[in-house]
């Protein structure tokens, strides 16, 4: 059996088109949803992420503001910017790109966000509402995973879902969202004993642990659906090892090398071995990633509707 590959680009495009239609309807009623993206420091990956989010806003007709702040920005200085955006009526959603530089107190910043504008769903009030099953802005990647499963007609109700990873960004909120879909949920992590055996009980297996190609065939029950949330950049001396461990990376490597890029992007799942057992699987790249930005756009419109109701 060879797994069906779930096309995250296609699903992300569907969601964006739905958002575009909704934004146009809001424009006709007299207002434009607005998103502010705050970037602190010089993290190259963060620059790429924020740029792609601003571009998505432009493509969908969402008003956007980009607030770049220097590497030496203090917690107090960032708080001033957050407080100003909380008060700004044109802004419905505020995104603070993580990670923040070490000198900034991340929890203080998240607490300062207006929960109604917290489009990443990280404010404790939104986290609490999520845990209680109440209406709230939900974290983008976990809600993207659930949206993907729903649109691919993969049954969650009554299924056993195993989530490998307990982060506040993905693992924990995804577990709550799957519970709301009436799945039976097991959360695993680095301290879980007999991890492969526990994972192999899953009907839906989600890898979000941040360890490249860690999930191999022994983790997977034949016919399970495997969702790979991880994205790891493999380069330098590690490349030969990972090309050997997961031969599916070779085509990406050859393509990148032709473009003078000496790296590959690898998920948390060993795609070559797992795709022989799973019924469906997400690739990396072009899997879960495109849904994260699509759901951010959806959250911004949701926040705008609630604020202006």
Q: How many other β-carbons are positioned within 10 Å of the β-carbon of residue 305? A: 14
Q: Annotated catalytic, 53? A: yes
CA 99 to chain centre: 14
CA distance 116 to 182: 27
Catalytic residue among 92, 97, 172, 203: 97
Q: Annotated catalytic, 261? A: no
CA distance 108 to 195: 35
CB 207 within 8 A of CB 165: yes
β-partners of residue 187 are 163
Catalytic residue among 118, 120, 203, 228: 120
- Residues 6 or more apart whose Cβ sits within 8 Å of residue 277: 1, 3, 217, 220, 221, 222, 223, 224
Cα distances from 24 to residues 33, 90, 146, 305, in angstroms, run 10, 16, 26, 13
The helix (run of H) or strand (run of E) holding residue 143 is helix 140-151
Q: How many other β-carbons are positioned within 10 Å of the β-carbon of residue 163? A: 30
Q: How far separated are the first and last CA of the chain, in Å rounded?
A: 50
Q: Annotated catalytic, 138? A: no
Torsion of CA 239, 241, 243, 249, to 10 degrees: -70
* Catalytic center residues: 53, 97, 120
């Amino acid at each position: 059996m060879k797994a069906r590959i779930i096309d995250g680009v296609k699903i992300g495009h569907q969601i964006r088109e739905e958002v575009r239609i909704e934004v146009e309807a809001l424009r006709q009623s007299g207002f434009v949803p607005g998103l502010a993206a705050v970037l602190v420091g010089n993290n190259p990956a963060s620059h790429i992420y924020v740029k792609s989010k601003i571009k998505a806003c432009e493509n969908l007709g969402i008003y956007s503001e980009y607030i770049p702040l220097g590497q030496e920005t203090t917690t107090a200085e960032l708080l001033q910017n957050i407080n100003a955006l909380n008060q700004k009526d044109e802004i419905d959603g505020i995104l603070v790109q993580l990670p923040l530089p070490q000198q900034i107190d991340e929890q203080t910043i998240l607490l300062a966000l207006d929960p109604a504008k917290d489009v990443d769903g990280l404010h404790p009030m939104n986290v609490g509402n999520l845990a209680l099953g109440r209406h709230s802005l939900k974290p983008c990647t976990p809600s993207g995973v659930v949206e993907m499963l729903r649109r691919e007609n993969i049954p969650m109700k009554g299924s056993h879902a195993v989530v490998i990873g307990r982060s506040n960004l993905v693992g924990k909120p995804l577990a709550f969202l799957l519970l709301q879909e009436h799945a039976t949920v097991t959360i695993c992590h680095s301290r879980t004993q007999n991890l492969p055996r526990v994972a192999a009980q899953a009907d839906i297996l989600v890898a979000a642990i941040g360890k490249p190609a860690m999930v191999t065939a022994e983790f997977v029950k034949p016919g399970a659906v495997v969702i790979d949330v991880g994205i790891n950049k493999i380069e330098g001396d590690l490349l030969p090892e990972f090309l050997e461990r997961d031969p599916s990376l070779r085509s990406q490597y050859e393509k990148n090398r032709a473009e003078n890029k000496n790296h590959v992007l690898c998920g948390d799942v060993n795609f070559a071995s797992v795709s022989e057992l799973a019924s469906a699987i997400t690739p990396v790249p072009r899997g879960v990633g495109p849904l994260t930005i699509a759901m951010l756009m959806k959250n911004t419109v949701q926040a705008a509707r609630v604020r202006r109701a």
